[in-house]
Structure formats: structure tokens, C-alpha cells
Amino acid sequence: MFVLGITGGIGTGKSVVASICRAAGIQVIDADDIAHELTDRASNTTARIAEVLGSDLIDDSGALLRGKMADLAFTNKRALDALSAIVHEDVVAAVDTRLKEAEKKKVKAVVLDAPIPVERGFIDHADQIWAITANENVRLERLRKRGMSDADALRRMRVQMSPEQYRKIAHFEIENNGTLLELEEKVHKLLRQEFGLRGIPLPGIPDSSAD
């Protein structure tokens, strides 16, 4: 089974690339979705977060107060590192389980979508890594459209890996400074190239599509 790892910083369009892959007929395992599942309810994960970072980050039902956690994590690198370490173990276990299930079903390829390209649970699973990048001004504009202030967006960008760090671990870089159509064309072209080399079908992409 071919495991394609997709990663990139906030505002680069990483999740959009994963969605394009899903539409092409590839199963996507989203680390962010798994993390949400683990923290949207009372769990061992949220209990550890409360213990390390404070019970004021957890609501009465035991779920993580996501906005409050984001404000802390994206303005405090130590808090982000602590949160990542706490959530990481449980996310990795879930990723391992889903990859094993896919293998049992003889799935030919899976996309692993993760914003933080950690060694255990991402790099060690990925046969190939694509880094999604974009210019800072483009990223800022996208985050403004999400209702984020420039100051907040820049703080979040600064505590994440730099574009150079993402490039260093990637086999391919996809620059996403243009339109959705341009991005889709780039992703389809690379999918055809890499999946075609491995004989993996892409039912969601017509063979006759032009790049």
C-alpha cells in the first residue's frame, strides 16, 4: 500500500489538496480530524491536557475549549509543543489502526494528511511526502477570509515550521499561490505521475483530462 503524506502550514491549502485527493478516489486519513475526535469529548487525552496546561481549557462536559486552546497554543510555542506531545500519542495510535484496516482491505493507496510532520506517525509511515506552500501575503489573505486578524494569523504562522523546514522533508513541493483550478491541475498532474508509476488507478480523475 502506497502512503502519501501531505503537510503544510496554516493557510497554505493543505486541506484543500487532501480534498482534491479524496475526490480523485483516494482514501484520506486526516490527523486533525482524529485529534478533534479525541478532544471533542471527555477522554484520557483531554484529562492530560487539563493536567499539564490547566483545567480552564476544558469545559464542563470534559471537552477541550478549542478557541481558548488555540489562543494559548498559537501565541506560546511551549504550550503548542506540550499540546502536540499530549495529543500525538493517541493520534498516532489511531492512524496506525486505520492504516492497518486499509491494508487488510487491500487498499492500494492512502493519503495521510497532517499539519505537523512528526517522525513517528507521519514520516515513518509515508512512502512519499508532498509539502504545500504559499507566499506569506497569500496565506494572510486566506486567513483574513476566515475572519482572522493579521496579528493572530502571523502569530500562528510563526510557531509552525518554516517553509524551508517543510521543503526539507518533502519529495515534492506544491506552490499554492493561485486559484483553486490551478491548484487542482497541479495536484492532478502529480497524482497521475506518481500513482501512474505505481499502477494505482485514480477513478476520480478522467484519463482524458489535460494538464
Q: What is the CATH number of the domain that holds 111?
A: 3.40.50.300
**pLDDT at residue 72, as a whole number:** 79
Eight-state DSSP code of residue 11: T
Radius of gyration of the chain (CA): 18
Q: Which domain holds residue 30?
A: 2-35+92-196
Count: domains in the chain: 1
pLDDT at 210: 45
- Residue 79 lies inside a defined structural domain of this protein: no
**Residue 10's pLDDT band (boundaries 50, 70, 90)?**
very high
Compute the mean pLDDT over every residue in the chain, rounded to the nearest whole number: 91
In this prediction the pTM is 0.86
Q: Is the pLDDT assigned to residue 190 strictly greater than 70?
A: yes
pLDDT-derived band at 120 (thresholds 50, 70, 90) equals confident
Amino acid residing at 31: A
pLDDT class of 87 with cuts at 50, 70, 90: confident
Question: Tell me, what's the pLDDT at 119?
Answer: 86
Which of these, 2, 25, 19, lies nearest to 132 by C-alpha position? 19
The pLDDT value given to residue 76 = 78
pLDDT at 75 over 80: no
Confidence at 85, pLDDT banded by 50, 70, 90: confident
What proportions of the chain, in percent to the nearest 5, are helix, strand and coil?
55, 15, 30
What percentage of the chain exceeds 70 in pLDDT?
97
Residue of higher predicted confidence among 178 and 84: 178
CA distance 188 to 10: 22
pLDDT in the model for residue 110: 97
pLDDT tens for residues 132-163? Answer: 999 999 999 999 999 999 998 998 898 888 99
Residue 160 amino acid letter = Q
